[in-house]
Structure 1
């Protein structure tokens, strides 16, 4: 994967921030004041951004000059003012932030815990984070010290005690001492999930255990990681699901399938998306142009008019703003990010809604035609 693209993806997951009116750009950010539902205060932060426009900006011409990122809490109050070029979500109490071309880490108060110094860095996972210096990747602790020296062409966060690393053109796995425990030999691979990892050799995909032994021999065109005990696999242009013994639990019959969450998985039949249960029964008919996995009890779906809605496990739209949203992301820790148009004011805005659909944070933006390009990079 191109390392620059990796940085953009890595430093973008869901979003955190709110309460005060933001200044310094042409937009305004406000806390709407709706009560939050769910988590305790301070346990989750969400990314937000502040837009700065070119001097010759107009709705028809000009464009966005740059963006600053900060964080809100679940009430929509600004906890960390927008000031960073890119940010990741908080993980294990820290968030990666990029200032200029250097990446460091802040705590939930916005204070630097590790000063910006790395070319890029991942989220913390199992106490360590992958970090790059001079084109080589190693792992740092929460003091910013390398505990595994930069030596890999690329590395991914630890998962279930092992980390996926790239040496040359081959993928393998290391332990927390930095010792290679599964030799680099795979053309592609994923991190361990549910005790198994997906690996690819010679255009065939299978699954290995932590000893590097094949549990499911390479035989598929592609496969997802295991989730809730099952993995989606694609063969002969159809997708089904296997268990950890490699046996089909749901025969290949779908054009595409996602992971199981909340006991349901998104599938597509003839370019329409719906959901199945673990018996392979369709429980929400394929009717959408796209569907995301269930998260926090809701799934994000796209209708035929290119509007986003949230449905529950019964397939019911749980709330609506009359016409759906122009853009949205799945719920995470009780909030979902949305972009929409205010018909009363004629202004585009982005913000966060809670599980009842209440807007708890709003930031007015200009020049919708110019937002799309940034979306591909930052969301």
Structure 2
């Protein structure tokens, strides 16, 4: 496949003589040498942020760029000020808001002051704001819906997938009998185009039209959801930009069509055509260089560039040899920009998004939550003062173990095991261990991220010789908790061990032995030891009591 010398950008076609400014607030990462620091330049050929950034920043959108350092997001504004945060991921700003992942793994939205104004506690994934709403994936159901700037659900999560709102409509789909059914909803959630199997794919509306694929045909829908035209002669139709768009023929050459599907330029070009300020980049096969032509295919700027961007302002960035220059419509260098001596202009993601989506960024990009509820798990199982699920004042009561396990087992299973709702009665007379796995024959689900097995070991048989109750003269020797890490807790074993160890050390325990996958702690009087170990995504946490005395 030939190397395309540029990635074209689509918005809307302009055939007038005047210059239109496109995409205010956008700046592209640039570098003056292969080992130099990074800066940001805009589409007017101006330096927005000087070359001082030691890691490649993102595209600047809404006047804000970002990069990650030591796992944390740093934002950069148009003044070159760096704003350090504890966020671990972020999307671009859009509509003056950005989706971020917090240090605890939860998702949130921040404003241009970098303050959180929405926290998404029960959301699995989300996307950025578009036309006042953002899409979200519900943690409980795994389905998608939309929320507003107050965090209120506007469209309930009923769909297997949704696209960001565009021109007042959102593309949605449901999977029924393993097949996708596509439709459109408005901003109230009303289905304005019923879901059906008619189309294999549909795109979002751009400039009043949506691209569809049905059988071997590619075509276009209007806002009345009527098929305006279709053809089996095209491999691809790109989103409309005003009244024209590019098509790729079955011969893999490109042409330009109007809103009736009629050719303006037949499929003879080697790269897609997109016109900005009356000009489009084109590729000359004979010298393998690109130049600019008008809609009549008249060459306005000779093909002498190996890479370039369209005329998005009063000029265009082009690469001639090893350096980028900024040229005007006569093809002459704009000295103030060319003198920046830019060797690398990192425009690829920006260009691709504008060409395929008619936007500077991919509004369908999402971030997923990585939050797992360590605190709830820790608080339920571990008391840093007395042990793992062990209360000296209550463990020797009959109802203790029933209350402990009942919430994790379905009612029928529980009743079949616990005679008269008494788990102790299910134990053999000689049994010294209360083991959840032996009772229920499986690990139990604490939540979606943790499965557990819990075992209490006593000095003597658990049952009293005279009744189905705990012996009041018994003594606990150890408690073992086995945790199996699932979903978002997978590969978090070392982190969880560290968090448990830190919590214990804040109370009565000292760290005795320490390695990445194994830790031993003991309380001040050495009567209790904690051993925490890891084998892959399986943790063992064991409390041993050296001697036992009831707490006062």
Q: TM-score range by the shorter chain?
A: 0.5 to 0.7
Structure 2 gap ranges (5+): 1-24, 30-35, 41-45, 50-60, 351-552
Q: Residue 141 of structure 1 corresponds to which residue in structure 2?
A: 148
Counterpart among 322, 328, 344 of residue 346 in structure 2: 328
Against the structure 1 CA distance between its residues 16 and 310, is the aligned structure 2 distance closer, same or farther, given a 3 Å change threshold? closer
Q: Measure how far apart 1:130 and its partner are.
A: 1.3
User: Equivalences for 1:9-48 in 2 at 5 Å?
Assistant: 44-48=62-66
Whether 2:207 is the aligned partner of 1:191: answer no
Q: Measure how far apart 1:213 and its partner are.
A: 0.7
Larger Cα Rg: Structure 1 or Structure 2? 2
Counterpart among 153, 159, 163 of residue 160 in structure 2: 153
Against the structure 1 CA distance between its residues 282 and 164, is the aligned structure 2 distance closer, same or farther, given a 3 Å change threshold? farther
Q: Measure how far apart 1:315 and its partner are.
A: 3.2
Counterpart among 287, 293, 301 of residue 310 in structure 2: 293
- Matches of 2:38 and 2:230 in 1, distance apart? 53
Q: Residue 183 of structure 2 corresponds to which residue in structure 1?
A: 172
Deviations 1:219-244 (A, max 9, x none): 32111111132101111322111111
Against the structure 1 CA distance between its residues 155 and 299, is the aligned structure 2 distance closer, same or farther, given a 3 Å change threshold? farther
- Matches of 1:170 and 1:14 in 2, distance apart? 36
The answer to whether the 8 Å contact 2:253/2:269 transfers is yes
Q: Residue 93 of structure 2 corresponds to which residue in structure 1?
A: 90
Structure 1 gap ranges (5+): 1-12, 18-26, 38-42, 53-65, 333-379
Deviations 1:285-309 (A, max 9, x none): 333333333334443434454x544
User: Equivalences for 1:54-133 in 2 at 5 Å?
Assistant: 66=71, 68-78=72-82, 80-99=83-102, 101-117=105-121, 118-133=123-138
CA RMSD of aligned residues (A): 3.5
Against the structure 1 CA distance between its residues 35 and 284, is the aligned structure 2 distance closer, same or farther, given a 3 Å change threshold? closer
The structure whose residues are more often helix, as a share, is 2
Deviations 1:61-113 (A, max 9, x none): xxxxx3x33333322223x4243222222222211112365432101111111
Against the structure 1 CA distance between its residues 30 and 195, is the aligned structure 2 distance closer, same or farther, given a 3 Å change threshold? closer
Q: Residue 346 of structure 1 corresponds to which residue in structure 2?
A: none
- Matches of 1:193 and 1:299 in 2, distance apart? 24
The answer to whether the 8 Å contact 1:265/1:277 transfers is yes
Secondary structure of the corresponding residue to residue 144 of structure 2: strand
Q: Measure how far apart 1:327 and its partner are.
A: 3.4
Q: Mean alpha-carbon deviation: is it higher for 112-121 or for 230-239?
A: 112-121
Against the structure 1 CA distance between its residues 279 and 49, is the aligned structure 2 distance closer, same or farther, given a 3 Å change threshold? same
Q: Residue 232 of structure 1 corresponds to which residue in structure 2?
A: 246
Q: Measure how far apart 1:250 and its partner are.
A: 1.7
Q: Residue 280 of structure 1 corresponds to which residue in structure 2?
A: 297
- Matches of 1:45 and 1:259 in 2, distance apart? 26
Secondary structure of the corresponding residue to residue 272 of structure 2: strand
Q: Measure how far apart 1:149 and its partner are.
A: 1.2
The structure whose residues are more often strand, as a share, is 1
Against the structure 1 CA distance between its residues 29 and 321, is the aligned structure 2 distance closer, same or farther, given a 3 Å change threshold? closer
Counterpart among 196, 212, 221 of residue 235 in structure 2: 221
- Matches of 2:157 and 2:319 in 1, distance apart? 43
Whether 2:192 is the aligned partner of 1:181: answer yes
Against the structure 1 CA distance between its residues 303 and 203, is the aligned structure 2 distance closer, same or farther, given a 3 Å change threshold? farther
- Matches of 2:134 and 2:312 in 1, distance apart? 25
Q: Measure how far apart 1:15 and its partner are.
A: 7.0
- Matches of 1:257 and 1:29 in 2, distance apart? 30
Q: Measure how far apart 1:206 and its partner are.
A: 1.2
Secondary structure of the corresponding residue to residue 331 of structure 2: coil
Q: Residue 360 of structure 1 corresponds to which residue in structure 2?
A: none
Against the structure 1 CA distance between its residues 317 and 149, is the aligned structure 2 distance closer, same or farther, given a 3 Å change threshold? farther
User: Equivalences for 1:338-349 in 2 at 5 Å?
Assistant: none
